[in-house]
Amino acid sequence: MPTTIRVHIALSQLATPHQQRTYYPAMWLIGHQLYVRDRDLQVSSISFPASSTGAGGQSTARIVMEYSCTKDNKLWRQDDRTIGHLAIDELEKTGLATINDVLELSVRRSGPAMSA
């Protein structure tokens, strides 16, 4: 059954997909969602839900990296720390941000909906 792992990341800065440092031809921007279809990356999409200003007036970009898998998939069985490292590594590969831009990160998993 399909499951989803979402990695929520707050960044101090974010290059827009059009300003990215590295060009990945297997990414398509539709609205606020960047769809990724590259065999070197496991992330399936990156969304840009919001930006905010912190207490010190610092601007923060928030993104969500989404990974699709199944519960018996190796990725699903990884701990949150390992998945966080994977997300940061893949984010750097897209050229959208670097590890130095990451302010905070959380991993959330969701399984298939259960029918009554």
Pairwise CA distance, residues 101 & 6, whole Å:
19
Q: Does domain 2-110 have CATH number 3.90.660.20?
A: yes
- What Rg, from alpha-carbon coordinates, does the chain have? 15
How does pLDDT run across 7-60, given as a tens digit for each residue? 999 998 877 655 554 545 566 666 677 888 888 899 999 998 766 655 566 678
pLDDT of residue 101: 92
Per-domain residue ranges of the chain = 2-110
